[in-house]
Structure 1
């Protein structure tokens, strides 16, 4: 099994952050709003049988800072992060009650339906692998949140999609996909995303309760360009003071700044989320930007609906979700379905 090039860096970041935060952060910052590490796996096999197609697999490691006084001088951030933030100052929000930062590193794989064909399947989506690093800035004022995220990365063979999928399928004893020779070519990609969210109601109960989070925003870049709107509803025991539990949402799943710490003892809830997007560009469907490559006739309007459960105990949180998506391009035979599993731990 060939180790993805990004894995040592991601593991190094994940192990270095706790020690750095403990040595440099004010004790109150760590006690009230400790940093966290999230690891998420998406896979269409979680969606059911015969679903090994479309967005077939993804893995994402996310590091979440404590609540910060600012993005450029706060000692809770490593020196390298502060240096990067000085160069990305235009992305920072204004003055808010709470703010924090995330850094994530991950990979996504996209494949057509027929795994056995080695030739170019013109009427199905291209083979594509995407490798991304993501810098995110969250700012909260009461029950409103703004999040801005800059993603930088690579699509194509350098993203190691074939190697990762072959290794996973080899471990599981599954058949390999034979058409990776037709994948999109190497291309640097970027995406600048901004979303705004509002949560109702404002009060947090200590027992059973519900809330709803609305969101709207968009993204621009050669990776993808879209506008979107949607919402999430939750019901359960000791709901967290954040902005959503859907692992696939920006600023969702334990990454938004909070006003209170986690609940004592067990807590858990169900969630239902929906999102509608007007898609102007998606490189995994439209193909390479500056070179000829395989592409399909994408549909401009795409919608997702997802549902799941989240359970928390002490420093740990687990979330399991399933997503159903409308068809993304003309001639797509099956409605995309995939699942997501996230494990989170505060430090």
Structure 2
């Protein structure tokens, strides 16, 4: 923790005061994400996810600075392999600090006993650090996440607080949730703007592909997907952000309309697909080192998202409806939820 804190303080000293140390072409960003199935009028499966992340300005000028940990500088040297050699001097590099919580519940709200054919109760509380290397058309993200699964994630308390606040009935089976387990996750994701074409009168469309890998005791999977966007003055970023590892992609590039406009500056619609080959999912497979409730998971899972996003001044706001295929064998139907993200850059 001392190393992490010292590194954070060093980063602040490198970047300097937000208001004076950089220009609009080199922004800081704060991102907030909220995902919940109440948007779809249900309360089960993946029922809530929140995440806050902070993206630093470009740190390229500090690439060899000894205050940046050696291991991180070595990782940076390896994150060039997808980029054209001619573009490497134009790369920008950012650090992302994040924290969040995920909550999972079965469908049966009343049962106090263990329901064997339904997914386990589970919560995940985490914090993480990611490193971005980006060019105009490509973004590489490598990240490490630390956290806890189980009662120490305070998922029950968080859900009960919201249900009390809104007058909803409480889930009765939280005594059956997964047991406490420390979590360590390592992730990598590559995004590539496959095309970006103007349509006239400020309209444009683009297609952004992504692929990645996530390893750890919480989840192990390979993922691949794509997002299509069409609208007026598309933002210079890599699509609609998600709560998943590697999902922080809304920080603006240097030609983004958010950095040169004080009013309404863009509007677009999008549709995206993310497909995962799942080797492990603690929220279905149960605890790694202790006996716990589990269900037989599906190996192939897909999310299809449709939504709208707008930019105004330094803000970007996106809302998506996410449709997820069945995640375990006896799940009676697919699941869907709403995903809201708000990003502010300055």
TM-score calculated relative to the size of structure 2: 0.86
Match of 2:250 among 249, 254, 275: 254
Answer yes or no: is the 8 Å Cα contact 1:206–1:238 preserved in 2.
Answer: no
Tell me the residue number matched to 1:239: 234
1:234-264, Cα deviation, whole Å (9 max, x unpaired):
0111001111124346344513x62324342
- Deviation by residue 1:111-138 (Cα, 9 ceiling, x = unmatched): 0001111100110000000011121111
- Aligned residue number for residue 225 of structure 1: 220
Q: Which runs of 5+ in 1 are unaligned?
A: 1-12
Of 60, 71, 95, the match for 1:69: 60
Matching of residues 173-188 of structure 1 within 5 Å: 173-188=167-182
Matching residue within 193, 202, 205 for 1:207: 202
Equivalent position of 2:154 in the other structure: 160
Partner of 1:269: 268
TM-score (norm 1): 0.85
CA distance in 1, matches of 2:211, 2:15: 33
**Partner residue in 1 for 2:101:** 107
Match among 7, 21, 34 for residue 41 of structure 1: 34
- Report the RMSD for the aligned CA atoms in angstroms: 2.5
- 289-298 vs 260-269, greater mean Cα deviation: 260-269
Q: CA deviation at 1:290?
A: 0.5
Structure 2 unaligned regions, length at least 5: 1-7, 81-87
Closer, same or farther in 2 for the Cα pair 1:98/1:19, shift >3 Å? closer
Aligned partner of 2:338 in structure 1 is 339
Deviations 1:121-160 (A, max 9, x none): 1100000000111211111133122111111110000000
Aligned length: 321
- Per the alignment, do residues 26 and 91 of structure 1 end up closer, same or farther by CA in structure 2, a change over 3 Å counting? farther
Q: Contact 2:36–2:338 at 8 Å: present in 1 too?
A: yes
**1:290 counterpart residue number:** 289
